[in-house]
Amino acid sequence: MSFNRKVVILRIGHRLSRDKRISTHVGLVARAFGAEKIVFSGVVESSVIETIKRVVETWGGPFDVDVVANPLTFMKKCKEKGMKIVHLTMYGENIQLSGIIDRIISDNTDILIVVGAEKVPGEVYKIADYNVAIGNQPHSEVAALAVFLDRLFNGRELVKEFTNAKYKIIPCKRGKKVVRVGVTDES
């Protein structure tokens, strides 16, 4: 397991206005926890995409944002390319009990992680190679994505170095320490 494995997030079922901040958090978690791209399906406020892009400009990347019209078509295309599809759902196999994370890691393929809002079409459960529950209780797609990626990358994502960051945090016991960094792109 390493960051050589490509992880893409597909956010489906975004509801205009209501899900604006949750979808933004899903995008920021995707970047901060080691994914390389988030894809929204359907119609999403431009402010969601702009906020994520602004974070990439300020804190570094690489990290991409995209929008697709049809999530099921996108899932099928990813599958044809050899990616495995992981659908995060409270109804799925419990990550703590089922050994499912070891199976996903040993697949050693690129991964598409599908993160839904309240209603998810039944077909998503069928197309997915794995339906994974981060516990079988209702909580949050933001939390589910973070814990899944933390288990997948085994904590290494939390010390990932981003490139072309304008700012960097120096961890400290009290208060805030932020430093301005040079542009590190050598091109």
Q: Which is nearer to a copy of itself, 111 or 146 (CB)?
A: 146
First to last CA, the chain: 29
Least gap, CB of 69 to a copy of itself (angstroms): 25
Helix (H, G, I), strand (E, B) or coil at 3: coil
Q: Which is nearer to a copy of itself, 69 or 138 (CB)?
A: 138
Minimum CB–partner distance for residue 145 and a copy of itself (Å): 7
Q: How far is the CB of 154 from a copy of itself (least distance, A)?
A: 10
Contact in structure between 119 and 91 (CB atoms under 8 Å): no
Measured distance CA(170)–CA(95) in Å, rounded: 33
Complex with a copy of itself: residue 122 or 187, whichever CB lies closer: 122
What is the binding site for a copy of itself (CB under 8 A)?
A: 18-19, 21-22, 25, 28-29, 31-33, 55, 59, 90-98, 122, 125-126, 131, 133-140, 142-147, 150, 155-160, 162, 168-169, 171-178
For the four alpha carbons of 92, 94, 95 and 99, in that order, the dihedral sign comes to negative
Closer Cβ to a copy of itself, 68 or 96, answer by number: 96
**Gyration radius (Cα) of the chain, Å:** 17
d(CA 42, CA 92): 25
